[in-house]
Amino acid sequence: MAEKSGPPIILDHNLWGNFTHHYGSDLDHHDVPDGPDRIYMDYNATTPVDPEVIGVVTDALTDAWGNPSSNYLPGLKARDIIYHSRDTIARMVGGKAADIIFTSGGTEVTARVEVEDVIAAIRPTTCLVSIMLANNETGIIMPIKDICQRVKDVNKQRAASAPRILLHTDAAQAIGKIRVDAHELGVDYITIVGHKFYGPRIGALFVNDPGTTTPVYPLLFGGGQERNFRPGTENTAMIAGLGKAAELVSLNLAEYEAHFLDIRCYLEQKLLAVFGKDKIHFNSHFSGSDILPNTCNFSILGRGLQGRRVLSTCRRLLASVGAACHSDRGDQPSHILLSCGIPYDVATNALRISVGRSTSREDVDIVVEDLRDTVEQLERMN
């Protein structure tokens, strides 16, 4: 399930002014300046919709409003848009159009992981292994390819009567940041979530040869759309937007990845320069583990510097302490960080900064200055 952290089993800151004009500027429950003064660095939670994506969504709403199952012109246009998007999304993950099933989002498709732990957890009745490709809190990239190879070895050794173990990965956080190829990874299923890579809030499921090589069954029954896998008239406009977002990823991934890495490394260098190595702890740095190029999870050490308290005091930075779906846990530290061996008091102070395509070094300078001022203020209060 997308955005569920744990063991296996947006506003762009340039748009902040428009947002606060409509909704007010008290989202963090304290007085903050509105307009472009607020700098958004929570792109792992959600991203703004790319202007090119907005364009194709608008065109589809205007010209392709017909039922894709019909034979009149607006319906035929809708059908063509859906097929083109299906093909584009499939190519983004190394598949073919028939492998893509559209969904309402990532959650509809059902921690740091060690390969040996996964293999040890397999039982004679195990039929599915599901692991996120990259953790949304730490950015750690899971060894999916190695896990898939080991699971396939287990499948070869199983008795004929035992179920074949299928492999699913939730790539919500990875797509648009690193290369994701279903066949290179060796997975049977991939969850795709549009609003994580500048697309609309719609999702898709990659299935390797659905219904033939790989089983897939509908959750609902009805009109027979999506080859009987998901009934209901297709959401043409959002599908068009998802297809355009996928096209942009396929065309520009190397550029995106290089930019993310440059900004994240600059951020880490700036944090160390301003706070010193004794006051900054990077919670994603583990020997032998790769992390997403855009994600920095760190703690500013010291009493009274809990992550939520720091963020609620910052005047410029918009970020989070971890997964949005765990926002009701108060100052309790992330169980993901604790399971990675981060001490309790360090994990309590954790902040997650995730940068986007428009994040600049100047933004980083402003954000780190804001953090420095905030920490000085809180330490005076303490």
- Which DSSP string corresponds to 242-282? HHHHHHHHHHHHHHHHHHHHHHHHHHHHHHHHHH-TTTEEE
Q: Is 325 a catalytic residue?
A: yes
Number of Cβ within a 10 Å radius of residue 85: 28
The contacts of residue 102 (CB under 8 Å, 6+ apart) are 82, 86, 202, 203, 204, 226, 230, 234, 235, 239, 242
Mapped onto helix, strand or coil, the DSSP state of residue 117 is: helix
Catalytic residue among 148, 296, 314, 325: 325
Rounded to an integer, what distance in angstroms lies between the CA atom of residue 204 and that of residue 130?
16
Half-sphere exposure of residue 122, counting CA atoms within 13 Å on the CB side? 25
Pairing of strands 295-300, 280-282: antiparallel
Tell which residue, 155, 141, 88, has the closest CA to residue 111: 141
Mapped onto helix, strand or coil, the DSSP state of residue 350 is: strand
Rounded to an integer, what distance in angstroms lies between the CA atom of residue 272 and that of residue 368?
10
Rounded to an integer, what distance in angstroms lies between the CA atom of residue 345 and that of residue 288?
25
- Tell me which residues are annotated as active site: 325
